[in-house]
Amino acid sequence: MEQLQGKKVIVTGGALGIGLATCRRLVREGCDVTIWDLSKKELDAAEKELTAMGGNVFAYLCDVSDKDRVHELAAAARKDMGQVDILINNAGFVRHGMFWEQPVENAVKQMDVNVNALFYSIHEFLPEMMERNSGHIVNVSSGVAISSAPGLAAYTTSKWAVWGLTDVLRLEVMTAGKKGIKFTSVHPGNIVTGMFEGFSLNVLGRLLAPPVKDHDVIAKGIVEKALKKKRHLVVIPWQIYIGMIVRGLVPNFILARIALLIGLGSCVKNYTGRKGYIHSTSEAETEK
């Protein structure tokens, strides 16, 4: 099992939720951590907390969908920490509502933050990882990359793309003979508080994908399963694996019926999200 002591890590969206819980674990493991996040107040609070834990922490205000800012901060990370060993693309953005009722800008913005941002950050660090033949890129996808969620069309699209990107890049580096570079996609089910507060399935759906109690459950998966055990896929809760197997075996017309049978059709009916944050309403504006 890989020791993480001394590793230099970038965590996007590290000021709240899964990102912050992951940063706490990384600091405890003895890693240097750079956080990129666009919530100033939470970023400052996270930096303070992690520094008080004894962490070597570098916090930067960043919209990960801003290519120039990512380029600028990649240089800052090399200066602050030296080589970047691990990149965790965790920042995420969601708007809910049926696709045809939403401004198309909402869909585009979700692709920008959830997918294009990964092109920017990975393009910064993968070439130097290739040269060293070492490094690990962890991309946070979702359970909805396995079972599509009506009311979250663009988000679902973006998270399928995150999985696809992770999968194909792994094959590209293997094809190039760079066995030292690892890729993991992380697929969390819905966490009861925060970004997906109010997301719900019916009783049958909750059996197949039990809600996750807190963000640290996913952070533990990222650190223990992705980074230490180098797993390709981290799926939490494990029951979501069943959905993967079913998707591979069952014809699509049956799959669609199962999706509605487990309550996916009304999964965002009571959705509230993280109130007061950019991803908590279904409107188009992106400011807090």
Q: Which range of residues in 37-45, 146-154, 164-172, 234-242 is near ligand NAD by CB under 6 A?
A: 37-45
Q: Which of 102, 121, 190, 282 binds ligand NAD (CB under 6 A)?
A: 190
* Residue 19 makes contact with ligand NAD by CB under 6 A: yes
Dihedral, CA of residue 197, residue 203, residue 209 and residue 214, to nearest 10: 40
**For residues 124 and 127, what is the distance between their CA atoms, to the nearest angstrom?**
7
Q: Which stretch binds ligand NAD (CB under 6 A): 95-103, 140-148, 229-237, 254-262?
A: 140-148
Among 126, 191, 240, 264, binds ligand NAD (CB under 6 A): 191
Gap between the Cα atoms of 14 and 37, Å rounded:
6
d(CA 162, CA 118): 8
Closest residue by beta carbon to ligand NAD = 17
Closer residue to ligand NAD, CB minimum distance, 65 or 157: 65
- Of 192-200, 222-230, 239-247, 250-258, the segment contacting ligand NAD by CB under 6 A is 192-200
Annotation says 241 is catalytic: no
- 208/263 Cα distance (integer angstroms): 11
Using CB under 6 A, pick the residue from 55, 151, 188, 205 that binds ligand NAD.
188
Q: Tell me which H or E stretch contains 191.
A: none
Distance CA 285, CA 288 (A): 9
Instruction: Kindly state the smallest distance separating residue 278's Cβ from ligand NAD, in Å.
Output: 6
Identify residues 62-121 at the interface with ligand NAD (CB under 6 A). Answer: 62-65, 90-93, 113
User: H-helix or E-strand containing 106?
Assistant: helix 104-111
> Which residues are bridge partners to 86 per DSSP?
9, 136
Of residues 9, 17, 152, 223, which one binds ligand NAD by CB under 6 A? 17
List 60, 120, 155, 271, catalytic entry:
155
User: 11, 140, 154, 181: which one contacts ligand NAD (CB under 6 A)?
Assistant: 140
Residue 225 · residue 283 · CB < 8 Å: no
127-133 contact pairs (CB < 8 A, 24+): 128/83, 128/84, 129/178, 129/181, 130/173, 130/176, 130/178, 130/181, 132/83, 132/180, 133/178, 133/179, 133/180, 133/181
Nearest distance in Å: CB 16, ligand NAD? 3
Residue 64 beta carbon to ligand NAD: minimum distance, rounded to whole angstroms: 4
**ω into 103 cis (within 30 of 0):** no
Binding site for ligand NAD (CB under 6 A): 12-13, 15-19, 36-39, 42, 62-65, 90-93, 113, 140, 142-143, 188, 190-191, 194-196, 215, 274
The set of catalytic residues is: 155
